Structure 1
């Protein structure tokens, strides 16, 4: 049972050596939260040939350092096996399941309920690599970026509740209708979402009437000059700052938007496993 006990019988345990590798404290916190593989649920397939810890560390290394799949260091499992793991978790929504379990545990460790009641929505435009096709890239005239746009909703701790990647020319309000519907469906206790002035207009009435969500607009005063920290909006900016520390996310290198969304979830799992490890160490 490589998914839970740390090593598959036919491969030796890998020794951690990179900053992105999970510590033993992280692994002990992560192991019970991993999704159960299909073969253990009686849905067919074969047991994993490699330890889940090695697979997770390999993907964390790729996200953190921005390497190509084929440039995976030799001490990890073969790159094609790691990519197959990434693709399976992406297509079966396992990475989001894993991420959401971690978020619930982090919120509980912080003294909050596992399910949030308030959030913040915003978007981030990033340049797209040459491998990104014309069908999923566009030009953001406001940010002067040719690429894609990440639309995110976070809770009041800055933890991700939902992400949707579109071409950069998609408007914030159009994307928000879809994303907020997904987030509201997944988080039934969500009642209030803060947003900036780009989300004004009919979206406010739509959220209240259709999703039972209060969309509160946090506006910047006309007499403000220079950089000013606005209430609530800084929370989502902190998430964007973290994403920019993951080199794979500095620009969009993914051929598919679903892969781009998965990379965001993987990046945030690194934040949360480290928080859990620190929390457990503080109690020890």
Structure 2
């Protein structure tokens, strides 16, 4: 309906730390020192329309570069035309070579300009930040209540299914 091919060719990766409820076991929770959050981390891959291609929930003390390999693998397996992925500066290093050699994906690091101060949304980062905003609107995802990480991932898919359904049923202006 958006006038694009149904199979995505580009995507964006990022992660989000969320607070965990008291029922979450110590095996899948941790402390994210960068954001000062005790909970879990969601690693997501989205297409350029902001639709979810893959997700993985881990403890936040696992590095972004190591954890995002699984959702990238899942997205590359499910979407064979995916060839380009944008990421922020936290994904530099060996992940770039891993994506090219193992997954046949070009990982482009979008760096922040040195002359800008404060929070500046990077050009492709807005896409994934919009997905995080949709997730936070789902009351069940504002905090991680799920005991298992697979259940937490399923809740993310469920929330994005609702977003996709709303987009599909949105009324369109009649053509003249």
TM-score, scaled relative to structure 1: 0.60
Aligned residue number for residue 255 of structure 1 = 147
For residue 3 of structure 2, the aligned residue among 111, 117, 137 is: 111
Q: When the two structures are aligned, how many residues end up with a matched partner?
A: 175
For residue 80 of structure 2, the aligned residue among 180, 184, 188 is: 188
Aligned pairs for 1:149-160 within 5 A: 149-160=41-52
For residue 226 of structure 1, the aligned residue among 98, 103, 118 is: 118
For residue 134 of structure 1, the aligned residue among 26, 39, 50 is: 26
State whether structure 2 residue 104 is matched by structure 1 residue 217.
no
State whether structure 2 residue 160 is matched by structure 1 residue 268.
yes
C-alpha distance 189-113 of structure 1, shift in aligned 2 (>3 A): same
State whether structure 2 residue 135 is matched by structure 1 residue 246.
no
TM-score, scaled relative to structure 2: 0.95
Aligned residue number for residue 237 of structure 1 = 129
2 CA distance for matches of 1:183 and 1:120? 11
Which range moved further: 119-128 or 176-185?
Answer: 176-185
Higher strand share: 2
C-alpha deviations, 1:138-194, integer Å up to 9, x for none? 111111111100000000000100000001111100011222111111111000000
2 CA distance for matches of 1:270 and 1:283? 24
Partners of 2:86 and 2:124 within 8 A in 1: yes
Partners of 2:56 and 2:68 within 8 A in 1: no
Q: Give the secondary-structure state (helix, strand or coil) at the position aligned to 2:43.
A: strand
2 CA distance for matches of 1:283 and 1:159? 25
Higher helix share: 1
2 CA distance for matches of 1:222 and 1:233? 17
Aligned residue number for residue 32 of structure 1 = none
Q: Give the secondary-structure state (helix, strand or coil) at the position aligned to 1:146.
A: strand
Larger radius of gyration: 1
Deviation of 1:226 after TM superposition, in Å, equals 1.5
Deviation of 1:282 after TM superposition, in Å, equals 4.1
Structure 1 unaligned regions, length at least 5: 1-108
Q: Give the secondary-structure state (helix, strand or coil) at the position aligned to 2:62.
A: coil
Deviation of 1:229 after TM superposition, in Å, equals 2.4
Note the aligned Cα RMSD (angstroms): 1.3
Aligned residue number for residue 47 of structure 1 = none
